[in-house]
Each structure stands twice: as structure tokens, then as C-alpha cells.
């Protein structure tokens, strides 16, 4: 994934698509910084983490832009989110998430909402980068309420 991003930066530079170049350089910079600061190897999981973090930050920015009626920035940020999403693995559907949650519930056998952490610990490695974690959290909370 990291190599794809580096190659795409070059490709978009040749195409003079500077918004995509800047977006990808930001992600590459985040990956490089994490690699240097934490002295960890650059893996697809690290790239997925940085992409997910970048998308999450942009979604939070959109909320602020909406408060300020900045339609120009909202559009630009939404385009960046869509572009970055193309680098993530195929996203799971709600039904697929529900199935994974059910399997985790059967394995962990939670007794109350206090077991949310155990369930998240079980599920997170399976879905990392493949779903919106807020959506996953809400699905788990709904399921815990039925106990």
C-alpha cells in the first residue's frame, strides 16, 4: 500500500492534480512520522491506520465547516475523503458487521455493557480499516442492550 501511495504521488504530479498530490503527501508524511517516532516497520496495517485517521479527521472538520457555512471547504473535504477511501480495503456492510459482532458475542459471552471493551478487543483486529468504528460501536451497544 505504501508503495502504491508513493507511485500515485508521482502519477498525480505528472497529471498536475495537486489536490490529490497534497492529500497523498499528507498521508505518506503521517506514515513516515509514525515509522520514525515509534520505530515500527511500515506495513499495510500502519498505512490503513493513517488513512483511517486522515478520514476521521476530515469528517470531524466537515462538522466544523458546516457550523461556519463553508460549503467550499465541505465539498473539498468530502472529495478528499472519497479519494482516501479508495486506498482502504473493501468496506464491510452492516449485515457483515452484525455477523462478526454475533460471532464475538458467542465467543466472549458478555454479561453486561461493562464487557464492551472485551468485545471491541475481539472484533477490532478483524475489521480494522474495513468499517467505520463509530458504526461498529453503535452496533455493539445496541446488541448489549438486548442482554
> Which pTM was predicted?
0.79
Give the residue among 80, 91, 40 at the shortest CA–CA distance from 57: 80
Last residue in a domain, options 85, 108, 133: 85
Residues 78 and 57 in one domain: yes
* Domain with 60 in it: 2-85
Residues 72 and 33 in one domain: yes
**What cell was used for 50?**
493513517
Q: How many domains does the chain have?
A: 2
Give the residue among 89, 72, 94, 83 at the shortest CA–CA distance from 130: 89
Whole-angstrom distance, CA of residue 111 vs CA of residue 139: 16
Give the residue among 49, 125, 37 at the shortest CA–CA distance from 87: 49
Identify the pLDDT of residue 99.
92
| Tens digits of residue pLDDT in 63-112 | 999 999 999 999 999 999 999 999 998 989 999 999 999 999 999 998 88
C-alpha radius of gyration, the chain, whole number = 18
Confidence bin at 129 (pLDDT 50/70/90): confident
Identify the pLDDT of residue 128.
83
User: Do 25 and 6 touch, CB atoms closer than 8 A?
Assistant: no
Highest mean pLDDT among 73-77, 138-142, 143-147: 73-77
Amino acid at each position: 500500500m505504501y508503495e502504491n501511495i508513493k507511485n500515485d504521488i508521482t502519477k498525480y504530479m505528472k497529471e498536475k492534480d495537486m489536490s490529490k498530490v497534497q492529500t497523498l503527501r499528507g498521508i505518506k508524511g503521517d506514515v513516515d512520522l509514525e515509522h520514525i517516532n515509534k520505530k515500527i516497520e511500515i506495513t499495510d496495517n500502519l498505512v490503513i491506520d493513517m488513512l483511517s485517521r486522515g478520514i476521521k479527521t476530515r469528517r470531524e472538520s466537515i462538522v466544523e465547516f458546516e457550523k461556519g457555512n463553508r460549503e467550499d471547504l465541505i465539498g473539498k473535504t468530502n472529495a478528499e475523503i472519497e479519494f482516501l477511501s479508495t486506498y482502504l480495503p473493501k468496506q464491510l456492510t452492516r449485515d457483515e458487521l452484525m455477523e462478526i459482532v454475533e460471532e464475538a458475542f458467542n465467543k466472549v459471552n458478555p454479561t453486561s455493557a461493562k464487557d464492551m471493551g472485551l468485545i471491541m478487543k475481539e472484533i477490532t483486529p478483524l475489521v480494522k480499516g474495513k468499517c467505520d468504528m463509530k458504526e461498529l460501536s453503535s452496533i455493539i451497544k445496541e446488541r448489549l442492550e438486548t442482554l
